[in-house]
Amino acid sequence: MVLPNKRLLALTVALGACAVTPAAAQDYFAGRTIDLVIGSGPAGGYDIYGRALARHYSRYIPGKPSIVVKNMPGAGSGRAAGFLAKIAPKDGTVIAGIMPGAVMGPLLEEKPEILFDPVRVQYIGTANNGTRVCVGWTAAGVKSFDDVRSKEVPFGAVSPNESTHDYAYMLRRTAGATYKIVSGYQGTTEIGLAMERGEVVGSCGWDWASVKAQRGDWLRDKKISVLLQIGLERNDELTKMGVPHVWDYVKNDLDRAVVELVIGQQVFQRSYIAPPEIPAAPLGILRSAFDATMKDEQFLADGDKLRIDISPLSGAKVQEIVQKLHATPKNVVQAARAAIRP
């Protein structure tokens, strides 16, 4: 009779643990601070999105923790992702906002310095799956993509694994662009200043939402021309503006497969991640709160004021897309690697 009593006791304890888990989860973040590490410098598009999220996110996290935004640029967000995966606490009190190039880097780099494993980190969600563009300084005579298919003009870029760098090289290899790529800038804010100074006359790989948020006055005053839209599908707004699509210039089947792989990352354009080892309960809280924030009227009004596009995907969906991209056939991966590098 002793054994059944022990089993009954064990079952009672297990059921009791399950019963208290939801209540404990509700208090998990109470009195805590969450550091939101942005993998880019201040004032850029990723910083604007991250700070907008931070202003509203806490209201949907039980316990209403404080959220502190910290910038950690470097390696196209790889530094921030590596810090999160290897150094930061694994309890959900540190999360990161990263560029999609950091997720694709380990796949597309020939001999990457593996700062983190994009398949193992846990995705909280993405605030935007969008379109990127090439822009040109109108006064310099760069008014259409055909202009950069016939002129060797300087185009600004950041560094490998960042879209202004990788997209610029990709378009040279697949779409006939002939511009000279000047890399080493710290972000699109610096590239914009370089365009004003005349150091460069354009750039490719800018997020369209960021261009509108950061350089809306340039668009209004026609200081810049939107040369090309880059996305798996055509953007209605840009199409109405008469901006050609990347598929208008990429005709070869292998080139198209390469471009599809590289720009597939735009589906998770503004991703937020948690460490691989985060327990299921806090991850579930962060994901649910993120989804709720993306629908919040105050957050959406903030986004309208900042002129940023909010088109979210859930963390589970982003996780699935990343896994599929990292399972791309090797011949396409090798061709893509060659396309995005000097």
- pLDDT tens by residue, 194-228: 999 999 999 999 999 889 988 999 999 999 999 99
- Check residue 61 and report its DSSP letter: S
Q: How far apart are CA 103 and CA 273, in angstroms?
A: 11
In degrees rounded to 5, what are phi and psi of residue 35? Answer: -85, 125
Confidence class for position 24, pLDDT limits 50, 70, 90: low
Residue intervals of the chain classified under CATH 3.40.190.150 are: 28-129+269-329
For position 15, what pLDDT does the model report?
A: 35
Q: What is the mean pLDDT of residues 42-63?
A: 95
Residue 247 token pair: 């598929």
79: left (phi over 0), alpha (psi -120 to 50) or beta: alpha
Distance, CA of 308 to chain centre: 14
Q: Give the model confidence (pLDDT) of 282-331 as tens digits.
A: 999 999 999 999 999 999 999 999 988 899 999 999 999 999 999 999 99
For position 14, what pLDDT does the model report?
A: 37
Predicted confidence (pLDDT) at residue 18 exceeds the cutoff of 60: no
Residue 341 token pair: 């590098």
Predicted confidence (pLDDT) at residue 139 exceeds the cutoff of 70: yes
Q: Show the CA angle centred on residue 239, arms to residues 142 and 170, nearest 5°.
A: 55
Q: How far apart are CA 179 and CA 163, in angstroms?
A: 16
For position 12, what pLDDT does the model report?
A: 36
Predicted confidence (pLDDT) at residue 140 exceeds the cutoff of 90: yes
For position 19, what pLDDT does the model report?
A: 36
Confidence class for position 111, pLDDT limits 50, 70, 90: low
Which amino acid is present at 296?
A: D
Q: Is residue 200 within 8 Å of residue 154, measured between CB atoms?
A: yes
CATH number for region 28-129+269-329: 3.40.190.150
**3 state DSSP class of 1:** coil
Q: Name the CATH code of domain 132-264 (choices 3.10.110.10, 3.40.190.10, 1.10.150.650, 3.40.1190.20).
A: 3.40.190.10
Q: Note the helical H segments in 267-314.
A: 280-295, 297-306
Confidence class for position 260, pLDDT limits 50, 70, 90: very high
- Mean pLDDT (the chain) is 90
